[in-house]
């Protein structure tokens, strides 16, 4: 295991409070909600495990090798269950299995061969689009799924997370193009003399 202090990015001399703050910031960054349906979710999950282990190790060392002192050591560990295991018809179950293993082409082919475009179909279509990076269409399929079945928690969660519920930004600032202050004054134009920073024929 790597040096737990290095993992959390704090010096060994850090106070308990500083360790906790560093841990919370990292846990927010790699939180499963921040990587929901993300094709790189497996890498984030690894990170999260490493951070949890480092935090628990530091707590163990600081409490003299005994139990944990002062912290919810693995409070985020349980969140990583993006299971696509439940579901209705067997074709849609196959779609979920294909998404689970990252075979988007198969998932898409199965969906396109399905006649019944119900709520779950729209939800899964959205999940495939999201993983492909087709974010506009993903959002629209999720919206349709939620309109068709407003009380389904799985569809609702996907839609809510996409509508900006959990996006991480350092320091807890709001995340979004329209949340930004005056843009004109602060863009980097320092190098415009070397050819304007613009491609001259575009």
Which residues are at the interface with other proteins (CB under 8 A)? 29-30, 34-35, 38-40, 43-44, 47, 129, 132-137, 139, 162-164, 167-170, 173, 175-180, 183-191, 193-202
Least separation in angstroms between CB 63 and other proteins = 30
Sequence-distant (6+) residues with CB within 8 A of 30 are 44, 47, 48, 51
Q: Closer CB to other proteins, residue 59 or residue 155?
A: 155
Structure tokens that stand for 6 in this block: 């290095």
Q: Closer CB to other proteins, residue 1 or residue 193?
A: 193
Q: Closer CB to other proteins, residue 39 or residue 70?
A: 39
Least separation in angstroms between CB 81 and other proteins = 18
Q: Closer CB to other proteins, residue 81 or residue 186?
A: 186
Q: Closer CB to other proteins, residue 110 or residue 129?
A: 129
Q: Can you say whether the dihedral through the CA atoms of 48, 51, 54, 58 is positive or negative?
A: negative
How many Cα neighbours within 13 Å face the side chain of 108?
Answer: 12
Least separation in angstroms between CB 190 and other proteins = 6
Least separation in angstroms between CB 117 and other proteins = 17
Least separation in angstroms between CB 66 and other proteins = 33
Q: Is the CB of residue 8 less than 8 Å from the CB of residue 17?
A: no
Per-position b or e across 115-146, b if 16+ CB within 10 A of its CB? eeeebbbbbbbbbbbbbeeeeeebbebbbbbb
CA distances from 178 to 148, 161, 175 (A): 30, 18, 9
């Amino acid at each position: 295991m790597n040096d737990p202090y290095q993992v959390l990015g704090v010096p060994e001399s850090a106070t308990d409070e500083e360790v906790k703050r560093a841990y919370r910031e990292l846990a927010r960054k790699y939180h499963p909600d921040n990587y929901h349906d993300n094709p790189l979710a497996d890498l984030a999950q690894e990170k999260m495990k490493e951070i949890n282990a480092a935090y628990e190790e530091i707590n163990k060392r600081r409490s003299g090798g005994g139990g944990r002192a002062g912290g919810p050591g693995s409070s985020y560990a349980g969140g990583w269950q993006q299971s696509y295991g439940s579901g209705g018809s067997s074709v849609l179950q196959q779609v979920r299995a294909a998404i689970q293993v990252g075979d988007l082409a198969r998932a898409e082919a199965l969906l396109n061969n399905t006649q019944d475009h119900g709520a779950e179909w729209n939800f899964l279509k959205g999940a495939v689009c999201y993983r492909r990076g087709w974010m506009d269409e993903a959002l629209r399929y999720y919206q349709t799924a939620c309109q068709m079945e407003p009380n389904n928690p799985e569809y609702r969660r996907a839609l809510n997370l996409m509508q900006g519920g959990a996006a991480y930004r350092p320091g807890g600032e709001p995340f979004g193009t329209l949340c930004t202050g005056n843009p004109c004054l602060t863009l980097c134009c320092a190098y415009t003399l070397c050819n304007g920073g613009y491609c001259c024929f575009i």
